[in-house]
Amino acid sequence: MNEVQVVSFPYKGEILHGSIVRKNKKTVTVKTESHTFRVPYSLLTPKMKPPRPKPKAREWSESQSKSYNKSLEATIAPLPKGSVKVLHVAVKFLAKALRNGDEEAINDYTNEAIAELNRIYKLPHLHVYTGGKRRLTKRGGQYYGVYKTRGKEEERHSISVYSRTAKTQKYVAPKTFLRTLIHEWGHHYDKYKLRLTNTYHTKGFYDRLNTIYSKLKEPLE
């Protein structure tokens, strides 16, 4: 049995007491000895907050469901040994550029690594924009990078990876920067290699990401 909640509220210069009958979005229905009132939450003692609305169940379209399931199940071919060596060189110089705060070199070696990945997996050109500090989210987190598929023709397929943190504006650690880069490239892979209409952060997505990242980070260990 639910416990009866007793509250107080002002009414025509008096303080009335009653029990809560129902909680609504903006008011509370309170029953006193003589009448029933609808009282705003702000007038109640003890103070109460309106109940949070229940999130609506997400309705998936047929194409969304197919994309999700394919993302969950698909794997990625391992990197060829010869290509790993080329990528390791780019990663080494990228890490050095991040430590030195060399923005031009950061951009050059980032684009070199992505160009090699696109060549290996036969994907469309993907330009990477680096630099700037991360933007803060509404919840206090940070945007590490963004994958874009709309905009001007020359920017239709692009990645933006921020090279400095939002609060201290220090240059991002090489491993963190590399993981963000591969994460955003993973959306490009899903869209054009797997031909997904929607790309999702499924377990399969992260498995594919880790297959590439685990090889590329070796020079940073």
Residue range 129-183, pLDDT digits in tens:
998 877 767 776 777 888 876 655 555 688 889 888 877 889 999 999 999 999 9
Percent residues over pLDDT 70 in the chain: 93
Which ranges of the chain does DSSP label H, i.e. alpha helix?
A: 62-73, 81-100, 103-121, 174-192, 203-216
CATH number at 1-55: 2.30.30
CATH 2.30.30 positions along the chain are 1-55
CB-based contacts of 52, cutoff 8 Å, min separation 6 = none
Q: What's the one-letter identity of residue 135?
A: R
Could you tell me if 132 and 200 are in contact, meaning their C-beta atoms sit under 8 angstroms apart?
A: no
Q: Would you tell me the crossing angle of helices 62-73 and 203-216 to the nearest 10 degrees?
A: 40
Helix (H, G, I), strand (E, B) or coil at 169: coil
pLDDT for residue 1: 46
What is the chain's mean pLDDT, rounded? 89
pTM above 0.75, yes or no: no
**Distance of alpha carbon 24 from alpha carbon 94, whole angstroms:** 56
**Distance of alpha carbon 22 from alpha carbon 98, whole angstroms:** 58
pLDDT for residue 101: 93
Q: What is the number of other CB atoms lying within 10 angstroms of the CB of residue 72?
A: 13
